[in-house]
Chain A
Amino acid sequence: MTAQEHHAPQSFWTKYIWSQDHKVIAIQYSLTAIFVGLVALVLSTLMRLQLGFPGSFDFIDASAYYQYVTMHGMIMVVYLLTAIFLGGFGNYLIPLMVGARDMVFPFVNMLSYWFYLLAVVVLLASFFVTGGPTGAGWTLYPPQAILPGTPGSDWGIILMLVSLGIFIIAATMGGLNYVTTVLQARTRGMTMMRMPLTIWGIFMATILALLAFPALFVSAIMMLFDKLLGTSFFMPAILSMGEQMGHEGGSPILFQHLFWFFGHPEVYIVALPAFGIVSDLISTHARKNIFGYRMMVWAIVVIGVLSFVVWAHHMYVSGMNPYFGYFFATTTLIIAVPTAIKVYNWVLTLWQGNIRMSVPMLFALGFVSTFTIGGLTGLFLGNVVVDLPLSDTYFVVAHFHMVMGVSPVLVIFGAIYHWYPKMSGKMLHEGMGKFHFWATFLGTYAIFFPMHYLGVLGVPRRYYAYENYDFIPDSAKDLNAFITIAAIFVALAQLVFLFNLAWSYFKGKESGPNPWEATTLEWQTETTPPGHGNWGETVPVCHRWAYDYSVPGYEQDYLPQNYPEEAKV
């Protein structure tokens, strides 16, 4: 065991603010991520107001609209989803599930949170500078990102790039901890293959993050140089507002290659933890081992590796060498195979199970259903020639919201309902939970399923308004209005969830140490919530894999991982 011999923190400040305890850091990360996610949710509501009811709100002009689009996208992908899965769930669950007392480098872990917070502050500061935040689209493509035709091209883009740089440093510090803890700090008996899939998912995602974020760092630095120092990494000879700029020879496509070399693994950084968590949710609440555990682990590893060779499917119409299209279409469709296998294994886990439709299970199944659609529409876009008409239309927007915005968020909710009792000793209110589930699941379906059809029609994305386009029928405007109303409804429904989180903390039913009767080690702590050092006097020893549910020959329908008898097959 590494240096866990530091004393338990004594003062309010060292316990809750400058804490080096992974559980506190996890909550800090999660609360910050949820807060900034709510900001992005408001931004998306404003965008939808403009799309559904164009021109109704004077302050949403074209500049503002594009700024909302950009900030909504970047916050959600990086500052919410990545931060909450790795910094939130990763921090909380890794030491508990592998049987460690804390992360291997608690001080660096603490630093990683404060860097993350700094990155968030810098990003939000861009709302208050001259020109406002950048409106370059979350993909920040040059040349437009640093030219005057785009909102926020003065300070906005600079703060965005600096904030991303700080975030990447935070993510690297955190990532170092998560990977090293999984590799080096597992308790006795906890072999890699006895780890629950939640850990495999987060572990693989962390490796991806460590290897992919540098590409974003590279692009951000080179773009800052082009903007501030007049270099020409990405800037070719161009005319801007009638003036010849001093740049020449740079390549906008170089930026796209670098960005998507990061960008594609990024979506798996979000998806893999979700995959891992959902496996454990389904397994626990169906009282059945996850079907095909080994395949599930291999699928996670293979998906992780393959995610580095598919990036240019975001660039089919970028003007890159057209022959690249053959290669990337092939790798992209290959990556669909391990992903599909995971979907089969989740539903096969239900087969011959003993299924409890608890709130976490509802969210888990909601994930499987929505991820299936999202993944399937990805096949349209991955197939290069089918992408030609669909690229840059609402088909893409619908696809990525389904796979990034709906499914992983359903998992986040499910995971919170599942682990809240561990974290607080209380159950979240079930009635509110069910309402939250139905409103969110049905609401997001209503928003994003019909949206695909707008894309097929050819309605382009990143448009402020659609006045006088003959090929867009009036009924599409009605559909946009409907989608906006659904979006407002879903946004409001989240208030119930927030209320539930706060209310249940004080008034919720006592949960006891293991309300779901789950096998994994985090439910075996001495106290609930776990205290400093997690395990009291002795760290548990692991005797079995994470899925001994309904083992034949035992009265109880689950055997915790530290249950001492030798496993019977």
Chain B
Amino acid sequence: MAFAVVLVILVLGSVLFHFLSPWNITPIASNWGSIDVTMLITLVITAVVFIAVNFFIAYAVIKFRHTPERKAQYEPENKKLEWWLTLGTSVGIIAMLAPGLIVYADFVNVPEDAHQVEVVGQQWSWSFRFPGEDGELGKSAIEHISTDNGFGVDPLDGAGQDDRLLTSNTLVLPVNRPVKLLLRSKDVLHNFYVPNFRVKMDSVPGQVSYQWFTPTRTGDFEVLCAEYCGIGHFNMRAFIKVVEQQEYDDWLAGLPTFAQSLKKEASEKLSVKAEKGMQVAQQKGCMACHGFESSPAGPSWLGLYGSTRVMKDGSEVVADDDYLKEAILEPNASVVKGYAPIMPKLELSELEMESVIAFIKERGNETDPEHQQGTDAGKASGAELAQSKGCTACHSIDGSRLVGPSWQGIYGSERTLASGETVTVNDAYLKESMFKPNAKMVEGYPPVMPPSQLSTAQANALIEYIKSL
């Protein structure tokens, strides 16, 4: 008896809870209202079954409670009833599956006019890349990833030169335009999910997956990582700002291109372009005759770029880009005085050529102060960098303990390291921790910090920010 009453109360209570609960699906902001409708159909059908089964139990338990006089019915089976129940259930199932698969077909088939954005996940932050005017994203691979080439774009792929890069964690999208997100990961599984847009998909290292949606209203939305990716999973933040088309276009035009980012900016000795140039120079055999020492085989590249050279015919030439290009493609058109015309003709693409020239310039003129220029160094404040580079995924600024030590009050304090020694947290220590995190681990914290991808200027900005906390 008590059981029946409780069951009825539970059912009624649950239904009431459903209507009164403040925890409802987030207000939709994309075209996927059809998912909400399918969910509602499912809810209605399942609610009917839920109520019916429980009420039936409650009723039966009262009506057929044990008494000494009662004798239960003996009915091993009732084929007709079982058949009807099977049929009814099948109808219910089809009523849920059919709309579900129809809507799913929409998800699988991306609209032709969807614009593409690449989303790259890593432990524990997000970054984004746009295809640029050519509408094509450059090829990328893990092997190309370096401090200055966070996206791993192949520097020799022409399509990648105009790609726009966004390393801050706020993605801007135009309203009412379908967008296909191409999902990549550099390390482990992640999942890009905005509750208001409804759809989600894992990003899998080693392949590219996708999801698509059309934002239907402007506003700010939070992005969650929805596939367990290690200790920082719960704070892997990003934001999406949906704006009008014009505002989006303006914003996009303001992002640096991949080509720009190839210029030297950071903590490596050579820019990405020049690094590639070095590889090309080695592969094509240039280094066999040219190097940075003097050699009888070919002119040394040390100090070559921008200098004036005397040619065989007595004329003087400035070794600039044009000259170097000609020298590579038509080697024996004009030979430098004192050298034999033995340089073989080489096949180099435009980009390979540029990269070799960058190498000659940077390595050959190492003291050139031009090298110290970055592209957007220092433009972002320390606070913004802390968010966009993913630091705040693990370090809090309010003293609370997340994955790593809180930055509040850390500057100038004494910390005990895992090795037992104590250290004062100053500029030098912070810099070392950013680039070689596991060198001096603070005691009691797990060794999970990845080395930061920052320019010197950015590192300095961050340190200033930490000082202020």
Contacts and interface: CB of A to CB of B under 8 A. Distances in A.
A550 B64 contact: no
Interface stretch (B38-46, B284-292, B423-431): B38-46
A445 B100 contact: no
The residue among B57, B72, B183, B226 with the most chain A CB atoms within 10 A of its own CB is B72
A511 interface: no
A352 B73 contact: yes
Given A149-B230, A380-B39, A460-B224, A551 B74 contact: yes
Contacts of A144: 187-189, 228-230
Interface in B18-68: 21-26, 32, 34-35, 38-39, 42-43, 45-46, 49-50, 53-54, 56-57, 60-61, 64-67
Interface stretch (A29-37, A38-46, A362-370): A362-370
B89 interface: yes
Interface stretch (A212-220, A289-297, A486-494): A289-297
Contacts of A465: 234-235, 402
A184 to B, nearest CB: 27
A3 interface: no
Contacts of A291: 75, 77-78
Interface string A244-255: 100001111100
A1 interface: no
A237 interface: yes
A463 B42 contact: no
Contacts of A253: 204, 207
Nearest to B208: A319
Contact of A385 (B38, B78, B207, B447): B38
Interface in A364-386: 365, 368-369, 372-373, 376-377, 379-380, 383-386
B209 interface: yes
Contacts of B207: 236, 253, 319
The residue among B10, B97, B142 with the most chain A CB atoms within 10 A of its own CB is B97
User: Shortest 9 CB-CB distances between A and B: which pairs?
Assistant: A236-B206, A458-B195, A149-B230, A319-B209, A352-B73, A242-B451, A288-B72, A350-B60, A463-B234
Contacts of A151: 231, 446
B107 interface: yes
Interface string B55-99: 011001100111100111111111001100110011001001100
A322 interface: yes
A376 B74 contact: no
Contacts of A329: 97, 100-101, 104
B407 interface: no
Given A352-B75, A379-B46, A337 B53 contact: no
A292 B72 contact: no
14 contacts: A148-B447, A239-B122, A242-B450, A286-B72, A289-B74, A291-B78, A317-B227, A322-B108, A337-B90, A348-B81, A356-B66, A383-B42, A456-B23, A460-B193
Contacts of B402: 62, 465
Given A319-B183, A365-B57, A288 B209 contact: no
A263 interface: no
A354 interface: yes
B54 A389 contact: no
Interface residues of A, number: 115
B188 A318 contact: no
B228 A141 contact: yes
B150 to A, nearest CB: 10
B205 A236 contact: yes
A466 B17 CA distance: 24
A340 B89 contact: yes
A108 interface: no
Contact of B143 (A242, A244, A249, A462): A244
Interface stretch (A20-28, A405-413, A422-430, A446-454): A446-454
Interface string A323-350: 1011001100110110011011101101
A293 B82 CA distance: 11
A457 interface: yes
A464 interface: yes
A129 interface: no
B39 to A, nearest CB: 5
Interface of B: 1, 3, 6-7, 10, 14, 17, 21-26, 32, 34-35, 38-39, 42-43, 45-46, 49-50, 53-54, 56-57, 60-61, 64-67, 70-78, 81-82, 85-86, 89-90, 93, 96-97, 100-101, 103-104, 107-108, 122-123, 141-143, 145, 183, 185-189, 191, 193, 195-196, 198-207, 209, 222, 224-235, 400-403, 437-438, 446-451
Nearest to B438: A241
A380 B437 CA distance: 44
Contacts of A462: 228, 233-234
Interface in A384-438: 384-386, 388-389, 391-393
A528 to B, nearest CB: 24
A475 B42 contact: no
Given A337-B89, A365-B61, A385-B35, A479 B23 contact: yes
A372 B57 CA distance: 12
B206 A287 contact: no
A149 B232 contact: yes
A399 B123 CA distance: 29
Nearest to A366: B3
A355 B230 contact: no
Contact of B230 (A147, A289, A368, A450): A147
Contacts of A149: 123, 187-188, 229-232, 448, 450
A194 to B, nearest CB: 12
A337 B26 CA distance: 32
A379 B46 CA distance: 8
A55 B234 CA distance: 14
A38 to B, nearest CB: 26
A275 interface: no
A337 B76 CA distance: 21
Contact of A386 (B35, B193, B450): B35
Nearest to A63: B446
B142 A238 contact: yes
A169 to B, nearest CB: 29
A305 interface: no
Contacts of B14: 449
A143 B187 contact: yes
A238 to B, nearest CB: 5
Contacts of B100: 329, 383-386
Nearest to B67: A354
Contacts of A475: 22-23
Contacts of A323: 108
Given A147-B230, A149-B230, A373-B50, A354 B70 contact: yes
A347 B57 contact: yes
Contacts of A61: 401, 403
A17 interface: no
Given A58-B401, A463-B233, 19 more contacts: A62-B231, A144-B189, A149-B450, A151-B231, A236-B142, A238-B187, A238-B188, A317-B202, A319-B201, A322-B108, A337-B86, A354-B70, A372-B54, A385-B100, A450-B23, A453-B24, A462-B234, A465-B235, A551-B74
Given A450-B21, A550-B71, A384 B104 contact: yes
Nearest to B150: A239
